[in-house]
């Protein structure tokens, strides 16, 4: 199966046991359709949790806003909540990934500096230097 979407936040790496590492991130898939009898399109966003076990170093490149193409399979996890309610979640298990568009670099934060001299009502001859 193949899906394409934008990463919603920077990927994280988690250690499992002593040697295994998994890269976790989420993508948003944008789609739209025109309802019957309508002239306007309706936008739909689907969020998919993803896990990548093959290369933990890839997390350095999987940043918020990057457009990725993922190949893999969907996994289902079923569990019970504390109150006994049955819950489930879907995860896309990635076999291969391509970064189609890298995330934009965040602009460096600069602090404005005011170079204006302060006006003083003191006598300039009274300066200590």
Domain coordinates of the chain in residue numbers? 2-105
pLDDT of residue 124: 55
pLDDT of residue 19: 87
pLDDT digits (tens, 9 = 90+) for 11-56: 999 999 888 999 999 999 999 999 998 899 999 999 999 999 999 9
Q: Taking the model in full, what pTM does it have?
A: 0.72
Separation of alpha carbons 81 and 88, rounded Å: 10
Q: What are the respective helix, strand and coil percentages of the chain, to the nearest 5?
A: 5, 50, 45
Tell me the CATH class for 2-105.
Answer: mainly beta
**Contact by Cβ (8 Å): 25, 14:** no
């Amino acid at each position: 199966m193949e899906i394409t979407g934008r990463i919603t936040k920077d990927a994280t790496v988690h250690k499992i046991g002593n040697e295994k590492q998994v890269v976790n991130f989420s993508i948003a898939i944008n789609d739209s359709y025109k309802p019957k009898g309508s002239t306007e399109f309706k936008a739909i966003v689907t969020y998919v949790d993803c896990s990548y076990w093959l290369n933990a170093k890839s997390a350095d490149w999987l940043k918020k806003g990057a457009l990725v193409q993922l190949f893999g399979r969907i996994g289902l996890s079923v569990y019970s909540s504390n109150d006994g309610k049955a819950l489930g979640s879907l995860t896309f298990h990635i076999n291969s990934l391509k970064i189609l568009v890298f995330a934009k670099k965040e602009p460096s934060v600069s602090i404005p500096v005011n170079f204006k001299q302060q006006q003083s009502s003191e006598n300039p001859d009274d300066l200590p230097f």
